[in-house]
Amino acid sequence: MRAYLETRIDSERLMLRPLSVDDAEALYAMYLDPEVMRYMNGPYTGTLNQLRERLAARIDEHENDGYGLYATELRESGELIGRCGHLRWTIEGKTEFEVGYLIARRHWGKGYATEAARALLEDGFGRFGVPHMISLIHPENVASQRVAEHNGLRHERDVSVQGISYPTVRLYKTTRAEFTAR
């Protein structure tokens, strides 16, 4: 498996690359937007320096794990428009690999989340050898549910997950076979 810091995932319009502490300012602006963070525990309440420290710690974790969150950039301009990636969760005693995505509001409605999620599914099935992948989505986040459905994930059930502040989230899932058949 490629190490996190060596991983780059390209799609038609996007480049997903390892996060850097230099991404803190762009992420900070995005994390302060209440609409962007509406289904992600609300807007960030820390300082920019605290975010830099948190980001550095997260990057170390990702390198140790070999996967994690990636900066999502427009290939044409290099503009950072969000972050997405692979996350591991323990749900009902089983390890699950999630495809997660968060895009800055001014880039909503352009298909970037769908494109990033599709690239992550392709990469995840190829690198991790898992039989299925999931997305955990707030029950009211209809746009994110559509992204999952566009990529062939289907709502399987609602679950409680330690580390997520909402009582339940919707678990969307696709198998390697279902994804490959698309």
What's the mean pLDDT in 13-38? 96
The pLDDT value given to residue 167: 86
Predicted confidence (pLDDT) per residue in 74-118, tens digit: 999 999 999 999 999 999 999 999 999 999 999 999 999 999 999
Give yes or no for residue 5 having a pLDDT over 90. Answer: no
- Burial of 70 from C-beta contacts in 10 A (0-12 / 13-18 / 19+): buried
Q: What's the pLDDT score for residue 145?
A: 98
Burial of 169 (0-12, 13-18, 19+ CB in 10 A): buried
Candidate from 2-11, 61-70, 123-132 with smallest mean pLDDT: 2-11
Instruction: Quickly state the pLDDT bin for 4 (edges 50, 70, 90).
Output: confident
pLDDT class of 1 with cuts at 50, 70, 90? low
pLDDT tens, position by position, 111-161: 999 999 999 999 999 999 999 999 999 999 999 999 999 999 999 999 999
Q: Evaluate whether 14 touches 119 at the Cβ level (below 8 Å).
A: yes
Tell me the pLDDT band of 165, cut-offs 50, 70 and 90: confident
Q: Give residue 134's domain range.
A: 4-181
pLDDT at 3 over 80: no
> In degrees, to the nearest 5, what angle opens at C-alpha 69 toward C-alphas 66 and 71?
120
Residue pair 16/119 in contact (Cβ under 8 Å)? The answer is yes
pLDDT of residue 61: 93
CA–CA distances in Å: residue 14 to residues 77, 148, 172? 10, 18, 23
The CATH number of the domain holding residue 32 is: 3.40.630.30
Average pLDDT value for residue range 13-26: 97
Q: Give 104's DSSP letter.
A: -
Q: Answer yes or no: are the C-beta atoms of 18 and 74 closer than 8 Å.
A: no
Q: How many domains does the chain have?
A: 1
What value does the mean pLDDT of the chain take?
94
In the chain the beta strands, taken as DSSP E runs, fall at 9-10, 14-18, 69-74, 80-91, 94-103, 132-137, 154-159, 169-175
Residue 2 has pLDDT above 70, yes or no: no
Q: Give the pair of three-digit tokens for residue 155.
A: 């709502």
End-to-end CA distance of the chain: 25
> Edge-to-edge strands of the sheet including 80-91?
9-10, 14-18, 69-74, 80-91, 94-103, 132-137, 169-175, 154-159
Q: In whole angstroms, what is the distance from residue 72 CA to residue 68 CA?
A: 12
